[in-house]
Amino acid sequence: MGKLDGRVIVITGAARGQGEQEARLFVAEGARVVLGDVLAERGAALATELGERQARFVRLDVAVEEDWAALVEVAQEAFGKVDGLVNNAGIVRFNALVDTPLEEFQQVVSVNQTGCFLGMRTVAPRIAAAGGGTIVNTASYAGLTGMAFVGAYAAAKHAVVGLTRVAALELAAQKIRVNALCPGAVDTPMVDEGALDPSADPEEGARIVAELCRKRVPLGRIGRPEEVARLALFLTGEDSSYITGQPFVIDGGWLAGESPA
């Protein structure tokens, strides 16, 4: 018996990184998954690999209402219901606050904050119609504290934590639990590419992030996407049945304080 037997879960940003690992783990635990991402080729390939009985891919720009409407219709037609959502899609841009162009700020907020809002607003009624379920929003370590050079990202992720708490209060009567993941640095393409100018070498970005984690993270390393996926599984399954409205930090101890030299 899997921990998610019979569940139908929507996962955004599912073509790679944390979302991909969540999709793989959820299917291994018995779920059927609907994968949303703007990376259509990679997302479709993952759905094919997972199998038609277990997965569907829908091209999804999380900031577009019409894309969300299309996704839930595909989910309903393919699997008959939706009873879970993992709002995983996100982007990061590194810039000093006073140097951040308005367009860049709005882009980050559009994906990370508006996308989360639209996901909950669209999918929650379907979850309620299925008799209840779970929503897991991906916030961040930076959604609970300040972090230099990621002002837009931190603002959006603070908002995700707030939206999570509001949704938990409003949706509890419909038997929907809502919680937030708050990862620190995790070894995903988003982090590697965001560490530098987008035109730079992602391998150099990965090196910079790894060195930062070696110095700042008590456990001395960057996180792995499969580790975040296991926390998403916990919050989606019955093991967390009395938990709602909470942010869960998974950061190797970074938020705990300053490590000794």
Residues serving a catalytic function are 153
Beta bridge partners of 133: 176
- CA dist., res. 250 & res. 252, Å (int): 6
